[in-house]
Structure 1
Amino acid sequence: MNILSSLGDWHSWLDLLIVPFFIQVAALIIGKIINTFINKKLQEHLEQHTLPYIFAHAVKDLPVAWCSGVGLYWTIHSIKVLNTTIIDLLSSLLYAVIIFSITRVLARTVSGMIALHIARAEDTTKATSLLSNIISFIIYSAGVIIILQYLGISVTPFLTALGVGGMAVALGLQDTLSNIFSGLHIILSKQLQVYDFVKLGNGYIGQVVDITWRFTKIQSPANNIIIVPNKEIASSTIINYNMPQQEIDISLTVGVSYDSDLDLVEKVSLEVARNVLLKVEGKVDFEPFVRFFEFADSSINFNINMKSNIFLNQYIIKHEVIKALTKRYREENINIPFPVRTIITAN
């Protein structure tokens, strides 16, 4: 009898543990296979910046969780010794996992579709982390509310308490909220966007690399990151070198002696400027020009005016023009005088 009883207990443990274990292992393997298939499609077959790619990327890594959830559902109904309380708890957990995963897919898909729409738009709007974070927060909040309602937790008292306490929180986070709304104002007004080269009223110059919920990141020409609070950006005077067109004016001031042939000076200067633009940018979209503007103490001064489509090219263009101009002036016997002051003394 003891042997028969032991065999009966063994079969009970087999039904209780072994079967659910294999169900979960099988579900995990199926999830891994599906996830590998999606990754292969993303890398080899789906074209980036398309709706199928966005959806597949949103679903990436989630088949494992979904298959594990299905395995958990079968496990719950395969174990007959579980009481109602445990079954309800596991069912609620399964529902929460499913809703959260669907919410994650929806947040990723919507953010990807907005980024795709911005990329295809005719204007130069760029997606920022602030915009995607706000969209994700709204979608995840809706998912949490759905889960709480399913669990029988009323969200009305919570929302009421949140509204009452919101005033106190707003006072404590006044600067943070100011930066958030300033960031939204910057994005919606399009006064500056990601990848724009700007100069702020405080003298900072660089390329906007991101607009977050609290600050804007600007990369300086020296490759340093400048962190500027959004409220300072919104209230600052800004020069945007990408608006209305993506071009930068380059002006180089030069002085030649009074006995120089100004026609020759202008001709040589334009040739040098044009050759440098061809060398640096590969083409000349804007013809350089010379403007004489001053009879100085020891020289006639003029500006060589050029334009470039790339902000950072202005530094190398000036560098190359100064070298080439000095060489050509020496070949053409054009003198760049030293400052001279004549002093006449009484005998």
Structure 2
Amino acid sequence: MISDVYAWELTETNRDWLIHRPIEIAVYTVLAVVLRFVLHRMIDRMSNRRRSTDTAVNERRSQRTRTIGSVLKSTVSIAVLTWCVLQILGILGINVAPFIASAGVVGLAIGFGAQNLVRDFLSGIFMLLEDQYGVGDVVDLGDAVGTVETVGLRVTTVRDANGTLWYCRNGEILRVGNMSQGYANAVLDLPVAHNANVHKACEVATRAVLDAAASAEIRADVIDTPEMLGVNSVTAESITIRITAQVKPGRQWAVQRAFARSVLSAFEKHGIEAPYLPSPHRSTISPTADISR
């Protein structure tokens, strides 16, 4: 009789561990995956929401929303994973109350032992709140210059012009130069020879730049009429004249290339000489390097 009861209890125990608890663990796991998927979809829908008017302010707000959305998705993933792990531990009979009660002590210990991590986290929060940069912005973070691909609470990734992906800890970012907020200036420096007619060169360059600004290629990118600033510098090798134009953020390099192409053709047509440079280099126009993708 005693052996029968023992066999029955053993069977129930086995049934609990081999059937009931695995099913509960599977249910919580599936629920966590579904919950994470649904919350990510909701965040994506909010982040990709379009407004009826396509203004610079709305574009910036949309960009900032996508940036915050990426951080929210990471936070949701961590929260759902933590909840799922705690539920599974409870199913396995492990008392999770001590873990929760000691969370404050562990957090304090981590705060003292991982000060850099805390600094990265706090810096990331303030960067998001202050909208210093967002995904898609072209930024100068010091050693890394390029397009922001992801913004997290600890790390920001930047893709430079050579395709290198830089991982920058938020706590180590001391300054941010954002080239994608509000507007940008396309600056074109045109070196000409000392024996060239500078007045004529300015007139030819101005007409060429105005024609390029009115072309279908960059017309939508130019915000204000290009301005001829005149002679910017005089060196032993050349005289440099400068033209600037206010353009949409992130489009200054494309506009500079279009301006340079148009001015180069106009200079060749009107016989305006370029400065002589020692062989093998000989150049007429050197627009600012393109650091965008």
Taking structure 2 as the reference length, the TM-score comes to 0.72
Deviation at 1:336, TM superposition (A): 4.6
Distance 1:326 1:114, change over 3 A: closer
C-alpha separation in 2, matches of 1:158 and 1:261 = 77
- Amino acid in structure 2 at the alignment position of 1:285: V
Structure with the larger RCO, 1 or 2 (CA within 8 Å, 6+ apart) = 2
Distance 1:83 1:292, change over 3 A: same
C-alpha separation in 1, matches of 2:232 and 2:85 = 71
Provide the residue aligned with 1:304 in structure 2: 243
* RMSD over aligned Cα atoms: 3.3
Does the 8 A contact of 2:157 with 2:168 survive in 1? yes
Report percent identity of matched pairs. Answer: 20
Provide the residue aligned with 1:116 in structure 2: 45
What CA deviation, in whole Å up to 9, does each residue of 1:107-131 have, x standing for no partner?
1211221122122164122246543
C-alpha separation in 2, matches of 1:151 and 1:284 = 62
Deviation at 1:169, TM superposition (A): 2.9
C-alpha separation in 2, matches of 1:294 and 1:94 = 76
- Amino acid in structure 1 at the alignment position of 2:171: K
Matched, 1:329 2:267: yes
Provide the residue aligned with 2:25 in structure 1: 96
Provide the residue aligned with 2:177 in structure 1: 239
Provide the residue aligned with 2:106 in structure 1: 165
C-alpha separation in 2, matches of 1:297 and 1:84 = 94
Provide the residue aligned with 1:83 in structure 2: 11
Q: Who wins on radius of gyration, i.e. which is larger? A: 1
Deviation at 1:232, TM superposition (A): 1.8
Specify every segment of 5 or more residues in structure 1 that has no aligned partner in the other structure, as ranges.
1-79, 340-347
1:216 corresponds to which of 142, 153, 156: 156
Provide the residue aligned with 2:226 in structure 1: 288
C-alpha separation in 2, matches of 1:307 and 1:295 = 21
Matched, 1:267 2:203: yes
1:184 corresponds to which of 125, 145, 149: 125
Distance 1:83 1:167, change over 3 A: same
Provide the residue aligned with 1:204 in structure 2: 144
> Pairwise mapping of residues 127-166 of structure 1 onto structure 2 (< 5 A)?
127=67, 129-166=70-107
Matched residue SS, 2:135: coil
Does the 8 A contact of 1:130 with 1:183 survive in 2? no
Distance 1:329 1:109, change over 3 A: same
Does the 8 A contact of 2:180 with 2:249 survive in 1? no
Specify every segment of 5 or more residues in structure 2 that has no aligned partner in the other structure, as ranges.
1-7, 51-57, 278-293
Deviation at 1:337, TM superposition (A): 5.3
Provide the residue aligned with 1:72 in structure 2: none
Matched residue SS, 2:180: coil
- Amino acid in structure 1 at the alignment position of 2:11: N
C-alpha separation in 1, matches of 2:221 and 2:13 = 77
Taking structure 1 as the reference length, the TM-score comes to 0.62
C-alpha separation in 1, matches of 2:112 and 2:233 = 61
Matched, 1:174 2:91: no
C-alpha separation in 2, matches of 1:252 and 1:276 = 13
Distance 1:259 1:194, change over 3 A: closer
What CA deviation, in whole Å up to 9, does each residue of 1:174-201 have, x standing for no partner?
222322332233233321111110112x
- Amino acid in structure 1 at the alignment position of 2:230: F
What CA deviation, in whole Å up to 9, does each residue of 1:57-94 have, x standing for no partner?
xxxxxxxxxxxxxxxxxxxxxxx998111222221211
Does the 8 A contact of 1:221 with 1:312 survive in 2? no
Aligned residues: 253
- Amino acid in structure 1 at the alignment position of 2:205: S
C-alpha separation in 2, matches of 1:153 and 1:131 = 30
C-alpha separation in 2, matches of 1:285 and 1:228 = 32
